[in-house]
């Protein structure tokens, strides 16, 4: 039984690393896969806690750039505006996530059909935005004005409905607010750091009395798998979307959503 849980955690960790930073909803994929695998995590904490592996993946890939921004803060107005922009974009999700945490975890996370529907709707929206001939105003994340960052943060709040996708919501929001495809994905990376770290800490505190030593190997397995796979995805995603856009991910969402909905209707 323990070996099955470790095997499930390994598979789900790989899935988390693969899907966290592409606009297909990692949480939606994890919850659907866990549903069909029969995988039950304590307090639904596994799906949130293994995201720390994905956070560390961004930090490892962007470490030198983050260090440069940190050193430039005292003297570079663009660096200060960028850091402030990320914090401004983070605030809406921090407030709404804290207020609605129990409803999200106990109701929305337990509704697989809703996840499938949101995957399908999000795929349609992503395909529409990707094909829309938008004229970008911003090609560098260092140039995003604060009102644009706030707007992206409000879009991110949509991702509290599992199946929507945090990266998908922020990427679509960024593009609609004037960013090009590459900078939209890159800002989503940076915004993920405080957002996912905040969710990790908050969920850990909420579930600290429920988690036991037996949960540690399962969470650790998912964490390591998520980190390794996410590093690979982060390194290659920006170049891919610069050349090919987001259509592949839109179709991915549509296929997973339709197949998942059909499976739920057929087998529950």
- Tell me the whole-structure pTM to 2 decimals: 0.87
Q: Which two tokens stand for residue 10?
A: 């390994």
Question: Treating both helix axes as pointing N-terminal to C-terminal, what angle do 181-207 and 77-99 enclose, rounded to 10 degrees?
Answer: 50
- With 0-12 CB in 10 A as exposed, 13-18 as middle and 19+ as buried, what is 14? middle
Sole residue written with tokens 């940190």: 70
Question: Rounded to whole angstroms, how far apart are CA atoms 104 and 213?
Answer: 26
List per-residue pLDDT tens for the chain, 268 residues long.
467 788 888 999 999 999 988 999 888 888 888 888 888 776 567 877 788 888 889 889 899 999 999 999 999 999 999 999 999 999 999 999 888 888 887 778 778 899 999 999 999 999 999 888 788 999 999 999 999 999 999 999 999 888 899 999 999 999 999 999 999 999 999 999 998 888 888 887 877 777 777 778 888 899 999 999 999 998 899 899 889 899 999 999 999 999 999 999 888 6
Closest among 77, 68, 84, 185 to 138, alpha carbons compared: 185
Under a CB-based contact definition with an 8 Å cutoff, are residues 215 and 43 in contact? Answer: no
Under a CB-based contact definition with an 8 Å cutoff, are residues 159 and 169 in contact? Answer: yes
Angle 78-53-237 from CA coordinates, rounded to 5°: 60
Angle 113-116-118 from CA coordinates, rounded to 5°: 110
């Amino acid at each position: 039984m323990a070996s099955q849980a470790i095997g499930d955690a390994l598979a789900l960790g790989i899935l988390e690393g693969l899907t966290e930073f592409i606009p297909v909803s990692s949480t939606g994929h994890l919850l659907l896969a866990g549903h069909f695998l029969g995988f039950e995590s304590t307090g639904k904490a596994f799906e949130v806690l293994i995201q720390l592996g994905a956070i560390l993946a961004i930090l490892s890939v962007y470490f030198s750039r983050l260090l440069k921004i940190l050193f430039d803060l005292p003297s570079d107005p663009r660096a200060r505006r960028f850091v402030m922009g990320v914090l401004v974009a983070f605030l809406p999700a921090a407030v709404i996530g804290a207020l609605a945490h129990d409803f999200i975890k106990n109701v929305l996370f337990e509704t697989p059909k809703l996840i499938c529907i949101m995957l399908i709707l999000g795929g349609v929206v992503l395909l529409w935005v990707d094909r829309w001939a938008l004229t970008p105003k911003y090609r560098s994340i260092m140039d995003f004005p604060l009102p644009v960052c706030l707007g992206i943060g409000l879009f991110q709040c949509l991702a509290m409905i599992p199946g929507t996708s945090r990266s998908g919501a922020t990427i679509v929001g960024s593009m609609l607010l004037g960013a090009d495809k590459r900078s939209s994905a890159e800002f989503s990376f940076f915004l993920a750091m405080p957002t996912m770290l905040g969710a990790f800490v908050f969920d850990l505190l909420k579930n600290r009395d429920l988690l036991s030593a037996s949960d540690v190997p399962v969470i650790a397995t998912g964490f390591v798998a998520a980190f390794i796979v996410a590093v690979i995805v982060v390194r290659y995603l920006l170049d891919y979307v610069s050349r090919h856009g987001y259509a592949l991910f839109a179709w991915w969402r549509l296929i997973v959503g339709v197949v998942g909905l059909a499976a739920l209707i057929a087998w529950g």
